[in-house]
Amino acid sequence: MVRENSNLLGMRNFDGELVLGDILDHDALPKLMEGTDFVFHTAGLVSFDNRRRKELMKVNVDGTRNVVNAAILAGVKKVVHTSSVAAIGLPKSGTICRETDEYDRFKYGIAYADSKHYGEVEVKKAVDRGLDAVIVNPASVVGQRDVYFHFGVLLKILKGKKIVPFVPGGMCVVGVDDVVAGEIAALMSGQAGEQYILGGENLSFKELFGKIAMVVGAGIPKVRIPIWGTRLAASVLELLSRLTGESPALTKAHVVSATIPHYFSSEKAKRELGYEPHPVDEAIKKAYEWYVENGLM
């Protein structure tokens, strides 16, 4: 299901049927789902611009509630809900986060993370009402067809740069092909009400930027930007975005990743779903080649 204004470049060569709809149209969703056995709920808004909090809550919380309610009314057999590792509690110093870690990010005021957490709450409510639904929590996804440049913006920014700065901290990165395999495994083997982290590699930003640099022809990351410099840059870019109307490339919400490494374990998915993530180098290469092929770099 796609919206009338969806960017369909990523759907090129798709040989299935496209149906027009919107997860915010709660009245139309049950009819659209009639005769459907399984639903992969992958629609959502990704933004770390806290000025979009109201919009994030509307899409990621109200939209998810509409999807699971429609699935119940339509008699769908199973729903796989795509959440995010952002909906899981941040790892304590020196630890890797798991599905059992309680969500504790409210103090950081990250609207996107809050919205994904509350979206999961709606899924669990539906499970209590009898819906067979599973939650998957992908890490930061890299790969082909990222038409909105959620991760791809890093490739675009670093391409051709001789001097590549990096910040402290790090995050978990996964290739899109592994996420797809994990989603399908969750449909086949995931238990109702359970959630599974779909991660790949836990990388420092220096390591990650180094991997990207190798693909896009950039220099080796050598210049370390201190935390205070990252915060200052985020403040300046957020101020400029108010003047231009465009979303800032770096926000205060992003800086949290620089102060607390976002590292996650996929052991539960490996154990219960047979999930087998691959090194992200190939996913970065596929993403870059797809961007070049489609004239987006």
State the residue for tokens 């640099």. 213
What CA–CA distance (Å, rounded) separates 297 from 122?
38
pLDDT tens for residues 119-175?
Answer: 999 999 999 999 999 999 999 999 999 999 999 999 999 999 999 988 888 999 999
Percent of the chain having pLDDT more than 70? 98
Please report, for residues 60, 266, 292, the alpha-carbon distance to residue 100 in angstroms, rounded to integers and kept in the order given. Answer: 22, 12, 40
Q: Output the CA angle 144-281-273, nearest 5 degrees.
A: 75
pLDDT tens for residues 175-231?
Answer: 999 999 999 999 999 999 999 999 999 999 999 999 999 999 999 999 898 888 888
What CA–CA distance (Å, rounded) separates 173 from 280?
7
Tokens of 94: 């020196």
CATH topology of domain 9-287: Rossmann fold (3.40.50)
pLDDT tens for residues 41-52?
Answer: 999 999 988 889
Pairing between β-strand 165-166 and β-strand 195-198 as defined by DSSP bridges: unpaired
pLDDT at 93: 65
Q: Output the CA angle 50-56-60, nearest 5 degrees.
A: 145
What are the beta bridge partners of residue 22? none
- Stretch 262-267: mean pLDDT: 94
Q: Would you list the domain boundaries of the chain?
A: 9-287
Buried b (16+ CB within 10 A) or exposed e, 229-249: ebeebbeebbeebeeeeeebb
Q: Is the pLDDT of residue 109 over 90?
A: no
pLDDT at 50: 86
What CA–CA distance (Å, rounded) separates 46 from 218?
27
Query: pTM of the entire structure?
Result: 0.94
Q: Is the pLDDT of residue 254 over 80?
A: no
Q: Which residue has the higher pLDDT, 198 or 105?
A: 198
pLDDT at 78: 98
